[in-house]
Amino acid sequence: MITYLQKLISNSKNGFITYADYMEAVLYHPKFGYYMKEKQKIGRQGDFITTSNISDVYGRLVAKWFSHICQTTSLPAVFCEIGAGNGRFAKAFLQEWNDSIKTSLQYIIVESSPYHLKLQQEMLLPEHSVVQVGSLSEIDHFEGMIFSNELFDALPVHVIEKIDGKLFEVMVGAENNGLYEMKLPLTNPEILSFLEVGKINLKEKQRIEIPLPMEKVIQEIATVLTKGIVVTADYGYTNDEWMDPRRAEGSLRGYYQHTMIHDVLQHPGEMDITTHIHFDSLIQKGAQEGLHLLTKLRQDEFLLKAGILKELENHYDPNPFSEVSKRNRAIRSLVMPSGMSSYFHIIVQQKGLQLSESDLFTE
């Protein structure tokens, strides 16, 4: 990986590449990229954990919620998951659909990683029927729900910093001892436009990530969606929250064997890299593309509104290792104010519908 990066950098226009180019290489390169490798990434033996891998409760609850949405809107039961990882969310969703809903369903997975495609097939087939595609461009005139869980936080970002009142883009260079940063005057018109449209004014010595690829994915989603709902589960900040002094160094970081690494130039190709997303920009860009905001809720609030407490078994089981006890602990961990869900938000957008937030949930 390091040899490939050194060659990529040496062949670049000015001897440096953007952080977006660096992340694209170390995360998504067909051979060397972290997400493309045949390596366990999620769970105890991986580098990070996701909500859907805590318990099947999450996927099962979303299945019931989607069924309610279909009944409310008369949308066809077509569910598209972008970036399905090891397939655990899809399995839980499909099991619940088969167990309690029992109507026809089309489940589409958009996945670019050959390794994850294989894991999904092993997890889901032959019990469940799914359609796997490599990109959103393979879908046309979609009606239904498009769902993603921790998709946008893994997309490449540019990094900029304000020094002596001037904006610089933080670039990546290579030398014999490895990789290093170099700050060059900011000239990228797309970044300047992002800041202007979002009314983002950096403070002195503040560093922030600019998610230009996020805007492109939103545009792709809006293009393929004719009528339906877009659900984004992720962590991020509003523009006001980005201005908090605690965010002065940005949010770009890596996870390597469940350890947070602040220097993402370490372990290239062997480490997950993530960043908090720009909630305001995601919502604003969505609206420009015809995806209109229905609601933005903290994930625990969303789960409560969707009826997760109904999933609790209301009897005592003295065996802490029983399935009932483990399930109840998982539910509590998903709704505790200090739990994992408190760091995530659910953004729901609509296109071609006239729903209000109250239409999303049963009483």
Whether 46 has a pLDDT exceeding 80, the answer reads no
Residues 313 and 346 in one domain: yes
Beta carbons within 10 angstroms of residue 99's beta carbon: 10
296 and 171 within one domain: no
Final residue before a domain boundary, out of 210, 225, 244 = 210
Is 161 within 8 Å of 205 (Cβ atoms)? yes
Q: What is the pLDDT of residue 44?
A: 55
Q: Is residue 246 part of a domain?
A: no
Q: Is the pLDDT of residue 320 over 80?
A: no
Name the domain boundary from 210, 226, 252: 210
Residues 351 and 290 in one domain: yes
Of 53, 12, 8, the residue nearest 26 (C-alpha): 8
Residue 317 scores a pLDDT above 90? no
Determine the pLDDT at residue 287: 98
CA pair distance 117, 216, nearest whole angstrom: 23
Asked if pLDDT for residue 55 goes beyond 90, the answer is no
**Same domain (yes/no): 148, 291:** yes
Interacting residues of 170 by C-beta distance below 8 A, sequence separation 6+: 19, 159, 160, 161, 181, 182, 183, 207
For residue 170, what are the domain limits?
A: 2-35+158-210
Quote the CA–CA distance of 303 and 360 in Å, as a whole number.
Answer: 12
pLDDT, mean of residues 40-67: 73
Q: Are residues 54 and 145 in the same domain?
A: yes
Cβ-Cβ contacts under 8 Å for 41 (sequence gap 6 or more): 34, 35, 47, 48, 85, 272
Mean pLDDT of 31-35: 91
Structure tokens that stand for 362 in this block: 């049963």
pLDDT of residue 312: 74
In a shared domain, residues 219 and 314: yes
> Out of 39-53, 66-80, 127-141, 145-159, which region has the weakest mean confidence (pLDDT)?
39-53
119 and 146 together in one domain: yes
Total structural domains within the chain: 2
Neighbours of 21 (CB within 10 A): 18
Report helix, strand or coil for 249.
coil
Same domain? 137 vs 26: no
Residue 251: inside a domain, yes or no? no
State whether 144 and 171 are in the same domain.
no
| pLDDT of 144 | 98
List, in order, residues 6 or more apart from 9 with CB less than 8 Å away: 15, 16, 17, 172, 173, 174
- Reported as a pLDDT band with limits 50, 70 and 90, residue 148 is very high
Q: What is the pLDDT of residue 297?
A: 96
For residue 204, tell me if it sits in a domain.
yes
Averaged pLDDT of the chain: 91
CB 50 within 8 A of CB 149: yes
CA atoms within 13 A on the CB side of 162: 14
Per-residue pLDDT, 254:
95
Q: Which residue has the higher pLDDT, 275 or 327?
A: 275
Average pLDDT of the residues in 279-304: 96
Q: Could you tell me the CATH number of the domain that includes residue 313?
A: 3.40.50.12710
Residue 166 lies in a domain: yes
Query: 218 with 324, same domain?
Result: yes
Confidence of residue 228 (pLDDT cuts 50, 70, 90): very high
**pLDDT tens for residues 120-138?**
999 999 999 999 999 999 9
Q: What is the pLDDT of residue 40?
A: 62
pLDDT at residue number 241: 96
In a domain, 337, yes or no: yes
C-alpha distance from residue 82 to each of 125, 276, 335, 339, 347 (Å)? 18, 18, 24, 25, 15
CA distances to 83, 158, 275 from 32, rounded to whole Å, are 19, 21, 21
Report yes or no on 248 lying in a domain: no
Asked if the model's pLDDT at residue 345 lies above 70, the reply is: yes
User: Same structural domain for residues 281 and 146?
Assistant: yes
Q: What percent of the chain has a predicted confidence (pLDDT) above 70?
A: 94
Structure-block tokens of residue 6? 């050194």
On whether residue 261 sits in a domain, the answer given is no
Mark whether 46 and 106 lie in a shared domain.
Answer: yes
